[in-house]
Amino acid sequence: MQSGISVSSELQNAFQAFTSDDSQFALPITIDSESLKPRPSIPFSGSSFYSSLPQLQSVLEPRTPLFLVLRHHSSSVGGLVALTYIPSNAGVRAKTLFASTRATLTRELGSEKFVTTIFATEEEEVYGEQAWKERDIEGNGTSTSSFKREELMDEKERELELVRRAEEEARHGTAGRDVGTGGSLGRSIDVKSETVKLNATESSVSPSEVASHISDSSPRYTFYHYPGSSVVIFIYTCPSGSSIKEKMLYASTRRVAIQLGEVEGIQVEKKIEGSSPDEITGARLQEEVTPRQDEGPKRGFARPKRPGR
């Protein structure tokens, strides 16, 4: 899916100046008047990549998406990192606009100039030193770690490929899943192969027991058929201790997971998310199925309230 937004002449000039000046650390980019436009570049503070990261806090806003072109200290000569920051609480239109413009940004500036692309939903994932060191260890952000580039493919292409695999499985009778009333189906992502896999199917699970079937150490997608109703709830959980790559993959693959369910005949009606299983309480699930009368209809992902609040 493409947004129709393109790189402005101002950004082309700013990007050329940025790539020509090794003292520049980051180039923030935003969308304005249906065009990609630059904001003032940020110079290195000293010679260290890590010591320069805190400067990025000055351009981040809690609800505002942003693109960042970064010069990583150990990238190959001329190699840059393209980071897309889309806060989880940003507006739906802004999320869609920035997500669908990621490929356009790198393609029009020159895909060959970028060594990797990164997706972040939390500020700490942008300026946190630990987050970047973890990427370096995993090989997602430096050239010295023999990392694999995200291929800079259009996100829609990746989604279609995953759905195609699921359809192929379904044709061979290997993917049919029965999520009857009270049933729970859990999926995870194999980080190395970036494929969605089935973890477990359970039957006769009461709403208060759902959390006990969800991992508290790594992200999960869970489909739950609420008892006594036709409602299937899609639950996305991502513990705070999950790796940066896990967070990135799971956040960007939620829609794919739902599409895979649809291929298998699972029609999702409600969606919620939480940082840990204990946020997925029986009361929270019931509220999704039978909301209080003073509440209007809910759209998108509903973030569960923490227990005791």
If asked whether residues 266 and 191 sit together in one domain, one would say yes
Percent of the chain with pLDDT over 90: 40
**For residue 116, is it within any domain?**
yes
Angle (nearest 5°) at CA 92 between 87 and 93: 110
Considering only residues 16 and 131, tell me which one the structure prediction assigns the higher pLDDT: 16
pLDDT in tens, 151-193: 334 455 555 555 555 555 555 444 445 578 899 999 998 887 7
What is residue 73's three-state secondary structure? Answer: coil
If asked whether residues 140 and 216 sit together in one domain, one would say no
Q: Which pair of tokens denotes residue 128?
A: 């946190």
**For residue 156, is it within any domain?**
no
If asked whether residues 141 and 27 sit together in one domain, one would say yes
Considering only residues 174 and 258, tell me which one the structure prediction assigns the higher pLDDT: 258
pLDDT band at 112 (very low <50, low <70, confident <90, very high): confident
**For residue 305, is it within any domain?**
no
**For residue 79, is it within any domain?**
yes
Number of domains the chain is built from: 2
What's 143-199 look like in SS3? CCCCCCCCCCCCHHHHHHHHHHHHHHHHHCCCCCCCCCCCCEEEEEEECCCCEEEEE
If asked whether residues 189 and 138 sit together in one domain, one would say no
If asked whether residues 134 and 10 sit together in one domain, one would say yes
- Domain span at residue 138 reads 6-146
If asked whether residues 122 and 188 sit together in one domain, one would say no
What is residue 6's three-state secondary structure? Answer: strand
Whether 264 shows a pLDDT value over 70: the answer reads: yes
At residue 157, the pLDDT reads 54
DSSP state of 304: P
**For residue 299, is it within any domain?**
no
DSSP state of 289: H
If asked whether residues 139 and 26 sit together in one domain, one would say yes
If asked whether residues 142 and 12 sit together in one domain, one would say yes
What is residue 225's three-state secondary structure? Answer: strand
> Of 4-8, 27-31, 114-118, 259-263, where does the model show the most confidence?
27-31
If asked whether residues 191 and 97 sit together in one domain, one would say no
Whether 28 shows a pLDDT value over 90: the answer reads: yes
Whether 90 shows a pLDDT value over 50: the answer reads: yes
Is this prediction's pTM over 0.75? no
What whole-number distance in Å separates Cα of residue 224 and Cα of residue 216?
Answer: 17
If asked whether residues 181 and 142 sit together in one domain, one would say no
CATH number of the domain encompassing residue 255: 3.40.20.10
Q: How many CB atoms lie within 10 A of CB 63?
A: 10
Helix (H), strand (E) at residue 30:
strand 24-32
**For residue 295, is it within any domain?**
no
**For residue 298, is it within any domain?**
no
**For residue 45, is it within any domain?**
yes
